[in-house]
Chains A and B, each alone.
Chain A
Amino acid sequence: MSDPSSINGGSALAMVGKECIAIACDLRLGNQSLGLSNNFEKLFQFGDKTFLGLTGLATDVLTLSETFRFKNNLYELREERSIEPSTLANLVSSTLYEKRFGPYFVGPIVAGLNSKTNEPFICGFDSIGCIDFAKDFIVSGTASDQLYGMCESLYEPGLEPEDLFETISQALLNAVDRDALSGWGAVVYLVTKDKVTKRVLRTRQD
């Protein structure tokens, strides 16, 4: 009931395809059972082809998204290039571990393409920054159990961008419909080597 990571609700998901990745999240922000907003995006872009998803306690989602925006801006000024997905993953990890004994209640995920090789990269974290590397998919949020089920049954390796979009959308949509704290709209970002497409999905509104 008063578990910080399930007060506000929300879920996110990332998948690897053939020379592409997709990352998606729902749009709900609630206060326990009461839905407050259907326009609360949990995905944040860093550089051209890297995304960070943040689920969990909304105040920490906001605090961390601002912290990483700040750290990324400094990184870009210092290095004069945009951050690599794997570098962002280590930045997220060390930032979370700084609060080892009083953590941010979030479940971050990172997805992107390497700026030079376009090699897909995805990973997830626990609330104190332990990185979970994966080569297929990463789930996070209050519907994570349902997302694991959907991904295990729908995912196949080496999907083309448009097929990956269909797979990630169906996985997310059907998972959040079985979770009272997630849903109320969804967005999907599809990242290929020369393009990022954002699609807003029509979902059940209950």
Chain B
Amino acid sequence: MDIILGIKVEDGTIIATSKAATRGISVLKDSDDKTRALNARNLIAYTGESGDTVQFAEFIQANIQLYSMRENDIELSPKATASFVRNQLATSLRSRKPYQVNVLIAGYDTKTDTASLNWIDYLGTQVELPYGAHGYAAFYANSLLDKHYRKNMKIEEGLGLLKLCLKELETRMPIDFKGVYVKVVDKDGIRSIEGY
């Protein structure tokens, strides 16, 4: 029941991930960061089978960074990054032991000056969305965002919308998810937003 949420706004993409690391009925940790920075303007957030998740995210991270080292410091675009991740998951799906990892990829393309949010599940289903979430949180968050989301929102308005979603999740989700880490990806790179 991990929560990962993404909202794309006009000039960036916001990602929120729950701090709780749960195993069965126990909360093992209340400061778990379910994100990895892939490069300067690409952030991956993940949920799924524990063990698979971090292994997969760091494998992707290493390969994206290897690409930049080989190709004269060229950074892979969000579209290319998402395609790479999708391809890895789609290939893994038909292997002996598939990665059970669902991800959101927040990116900012400096060539076209556009923000993006890619939703990819463990099957390799990929879609570019204005807002999205994985797991049970998606049911609550999507219905709220369907009503309140507008195109061309600023980051501050997006963060306001995120507050609304989190308030709903706190009241409706059956277990305490110990709050969230919030990160923004925009033209200046990846930064954390404090106070959530």
Contacts and interface: CB of A to CB of B under 8 A. Distances in A.
Interface of A: 7-8, 29, 31, 34, 36-37, 40, 57-59, 62-63, 102
- For this complex, into which size category does the number of interface residues on chain B fall? 10 to 19
A63 B91 CA distance: 9
A57 B122 CA distance: 13
Interface stretch (B57-65, B73-81, B123-131): B123-131
B124 A62 contact: yes
Do most interface residues of chain B lie in helix, strand or loop, or is the interface mixed? mixed
Nearest to B83: A66
Contacts of B138: 31, 34
Interface in B91-129: 93-94, 119, 121, 123-127, 129
A31 B142 CA distance: 13
B90 interface: yes
Contacts of B139: 34
B86 interface: yes
Given A62-B90, A63-B90, A102-B94, A29 B124 contact: no
Given A31-B121, A34-B138, A59 B129 contact: no
B91 to A, nearest CB: 9
Contacts of A29: 125, 127
Given A34-B142, A37-B129, A102-B94, A59 B123 contact: yes
21 contacts: A7-B123, A8-B125, A29-B125, A31-B125, A34-B138, A34-B139, A34-B142, A36-B132, A37-B129, A57-B123, A58-B125, A59-B89, A59-B90, A59-B123, A59-B124, A59-B125, A59-B126, A62-B90, A62-B125, A63-B124, A102-B94
Contacts, number: 36
Nearest to B91: A63
B127 A40 contact: yes
Interface string B130-152: 00100000110010000000000
Most chain A CB within a 10 A radius of its CB, from B94, B123, B142: B123
Nearest to B124: A59
Contacts of B121: 31
A41 B30 CA distance: 41
A57 B93 CA distance: 12
A58 B90 CA distance: 11
Contacts of B126: 59, 62
Contacts of B94: 102
Given A34-B142, A36-B129, 17 more contacts: A29-B125, A29-B127, A31-B121, A31-B125, A31-B138, A36-B119, A37-B127, A40-B127, A59-B89, A59-B90, A59-B93, A59-B124, A59-B125, A62-B90, A62-B125, A62-B126, A63-B90
